[in-house]
Amino acid sequence: MSGRRHRDEGFALVELLVTSSLALVVLLAILGALDVFSGTSSATARAPIAEETARATLRQMVDDLRQARVPTGETTPIDHTSTGATGDLVAAAWLDDGTAAPRAGWLRYCVTADGRTLVAARRYAAAWPGAPGTCATTSATDPALGWVARAVVPGSLVPGGVFTFTSDACFGTTGSCPPAATAVRAIGIRLRLQARDAGGRGRTIDQSGTVGLRNRP
């Protein structure tokens, strides 16, 4: 009798293995659900950040180009821009150097070779200081001595063109587009950013604007 009671009150090895297996299955299901929820939450959280980055960068680019100037001996702020290169824009502009009066200089917005990073560069100089070289960040910190470049949209651009150029006879990709720099009347800007988590989930952020070169001669 005492032996039977002992067997009734305990757990058989088979019962213990079945219970452990069921617990493991339930635990794996819970962990899987948490992983999906975490990935979705991450993508959802990153989307507003990417959108604000795109909006702030576009606003800065527009503000910069509104300060465009025509240097002595040139006919447009973008004389040194190839309008066939929609990922690279160089313009003469009035730049803020922290003093009361703006300073004559040059700005550049370009896309790196992989198409994923937008770089902003500046240099103080009244006349054309020479080509800025490869689109990349620099360690320089003084725009009076050379081009100072930093990544403003690091690694999240959707590869493709950023700039379009409009003249009186040319818009987009029609006619004789792209126009020569001397004929450009307006510059279109389109920033497309990808907000993705490690699992590849996310969405594309799209911001666009246009700046007219009203101060042309």
| Domain range summary for the chain, segments of one domain joined by + | 48-212
Which tokens go with 217? 């001669």
User: 3-class SS at 34?
Assistant: helix
**What pLDDT score was predicted for residue 125?**
96
The whole-number pLDDT of residue 200 equals 58
pTM to 2 decimal places: 0.75
Q: Which residues in the chain show pLDDT less than 50?
A: 6, 38, 40-45
Please tell me the predicted confidence (pLDDT) of residue 113: 94
**Distance, CA of 87 to CA of 76 (rounded, Å):** 19
Cβ-in-10-Å burial (0-12, 13-18, 19+) of 85 comes to middle
Return the structure tokens found at 199.
């699992």
C-alpha separations of 145 from 4, 122, 127, 149 in Å: 94, 11, 14, 12
Distance CA 145, CA 88 (A): 22
The confidence score (pLDDT) of residue 169 equals 82
